[in-house]
Structure 1
Amino acid sequence: MVSAVKIDHVRKTFRNDQERIHVLEDFDLSIKQGEFLTIIGPSGCGKSTLLKLIAGLDLDFEGQIRIGEKFVNGPSKDRGFIFQEHRLFPWLNVEQNISGNLSLKNPNIRSKVDQLLSLVKLKGFEKAYPRQLSGGMSQRVAIARALLRNPEVLLLDEPFGALDAFTRNHLQEALLEIWKENQTTMVLVTHDIDEAVFLSSKVVVMDAKPGRIKGIVSIDLPYPRTRTNKSFQEYRTVILKSLDHHVNELEDWSI
């Protein structure tokens, strides 16, 4: 079976006048089709940089990245990207922000946008403008926009990091519903351990300077998950300990 995402010996270096900074070093990772994978690690470990490489937004790296059987050589509709800031166009309403440069007069586009509005629970807000939306609603618009072109992989760079705890929890549940319904491969970057355990089938823990995989935690918990559950807290503790720089590097952790 071909992996949804295959990262082989990726190395990323930033250069300035005085030094070369190794952001990612010999990074190898396979992500299965339909998997919900979360990447967690300290600031500066290269999490967001890795997402940009997968998205094709930065091609200055060594190694290879494939989506299915195709090598990444630039942005493509087979990858959707959601940033921490929703980045909606303030002069467009909700349905126009979702459709982007595709015409809502096209019956197929109109139908798809209507389906996505239902999926992200924004029916009734089609004509609203970003200034009239809450932060959580704006991120739901961004998610719908990213899903419009049926991406094989959805890349999420701390999409809920700027939201309050209540809204963040609500959107985590909404994202799980979208994942289950669409079976889109999800790759999420976060600093939030609870978020990683709540959402993921697998958590990749990264180390910094240079960024590399420190360990992988498979989350063997049924959905929906309860944060107060004993097993949930055990996984949380495992990941928290794995982030400790004094813990030896491991390939896989389990409880």
Structure 2
Amino acid sequence: MSERALVIERLNKIFTTPNERVVALREIDLQVKQGEFITVIGPSGCGKSTLLKIVAGLDVEYDGKVELNGQQIKGPSLEKGFIFQEPRLFPWLTVEKNIAGDQSLKDPKVRGKVHELIRLVKLEGFEKAYPKELSGGMAQRVSIARALLRKPDILLLDEPFGALDAFTRSHMQEVLLNIWETNKTTMIFVTHDLDEAVFLGQRVVIMNPRPGHIKSVLPIELSFPRKRSSLAFQEMRRTVLNEFEKVEEESYTVGAGI
């Protein structure tokens, strides 16, 4: 895991409207290694989702360098998979057809890949089911499988488990880690949940708002599988929480004009 998959240097993003000019991101520097799992946390409005959309190529109006595998990101591509908070499945298509997308299941290679992914995300037996017949967690697994079918170099996840109940969320975290360990896909996962950030990430990126910038990057030196009840996990969580509380204090000070 030595090659740099993603390189971000001096990234700045400004939103301009007729009435105001908002600096959303300022001087973002971040490097992500091939096969690394990064989690990103920070207060609302710190630019987490904006950063993810730029890496995905969904927003190309920015200043700075954003490169994937040595190539400047200039738009969406198959090398980048994106998972939203909601599944965004086609309600008239079955699970297997949603995963296949524009590829034909009549092709034995496509069908084989689709059913391999269905096994990977633990949806065997639901191949012919429609989205309305799935739980929220199951639908999100279909979204992940659909993104993985294109074999992206990097998978970008924007609070994908935020709308799920605690039990389903915990299960989905385990599923995602299994996918990551199996495929070795580089992942950047945005979340508001500190426990989730520590449980999943090899490094936690903490962002500060007004304007959005990286406050700190903390390595999570815990082996997988991780147990939230372990002393080592609780100590690491405390370390991240202490740093996050500094960000919240600074955000309040700036927001209050102190």
Report the TM-score when normalising by structure 2: 0.94
Whole-Å Cα distance in 2 between the matches of residues 236 and 146 of structure 1? 30
Query: Matched residue of 2:214: which SS?
Result: strand
**1:72 corresponds to which residue?**
73
The correspondence of residues 106-255 of structure 1 with structure 2, limited to 5 A, is 106-244=107-245, 245=247, 246=249
Is 1:18–2:16 an aligned residue pair?
Answer: no
Q: Which is worse superposed, 15-24 or 29-38?
A: 15-24
Instruction: Give, in whole Å, the separation in 2 of the partners of 1:227 and 1:137.
Output: 24
Alignment-mate amino acid for residue 130 of structure 1 = P
The alignment of Structure 1 onto Structure 2 pairs a total of residues equal to 247
**1:1-22 deviation per Cα after TM superposition (whole angstroms, max 9, x unaligned):** 5411111111001111221110
Distance in 1 of aligned mates of 2:9 and 2:101? 33
The residue type paired with residue 155 of structure 1 is L
> Residue 91 of structure 2 aligns with which residue?
90
The one-character-per-residue Cα deviations of 1:177-198 (angstroms, maximum 9, x if unpaired) are 0000000001000010110111
SS where residue 155 of structure 2 aligns? strand
Distance of 2:3 and 2:155 partners within structure 1: 17
Moved over 4 A (4+): none
Per-residue CA deviation, residues 154-202 of structure 1 (Å, 9 max, x unaligned), is 0000000000000000000000000000000010000101101111100
Q: Separation in 2 of the partners of 1:127 and 1:190?
A: 31
Distance 1:185 1:73 in 2: 19
Matched to 1:151, the amino acid is P
Contact 1:2–1:69 (8 Å) recurs in 2 = no
Question: Is 1:100 equivalent to 2:101 in the alignment?
Answer: yes
Q: After alignment, is 186-195 or 232-241 more displaced?
A: 232-241
Instruction: State the alpha-carbon separation in 2 of the partners of residues 51 and 22 from structure 1.
Output: 16
Instruction: Give the Cα separation in 1 of the matches to 2:71 and 2:3.
Output: 11
Is residue 25 of structure 2 the alignment partner of residue 37 of structure 1? Answer: no
Equivalents in 2 of 1:224, 1:3: separation in Å? 25
Q: Counterparts of 1:95 and 1:43 in 2: how far apart (Å)?
A: 36
Deviation at 1:146, TM superposition (A): 0.5
Task: State the 1:235 CA deviation.
Answer: 1.5
Tell me whether 177-186 or 17-26 shows the greater mean CA deviation.
Answer: 17-26
State the alpha-carbon separation in 1 of the partners of residues 59 and 217 from structure 2.
25
Aligned to 1:252: none
Shift of 1:231: 1.5
Aligned-partner Cα distance in 1 for 2:192–2:234: 17
Deviation at 1:208, TM superposition (A): 0.5
Residue type of the alignment partner of 1:206: M
Across the aligned residues of Structure 1 and Structure 2, the Cα RMSD in angstroms comes to 0.9
Aligned counterparts of 2:202 and 2:50: Cα–Cα separation in 1: 22
What is the percentage of aligned positions where both structures have the same residue?
57
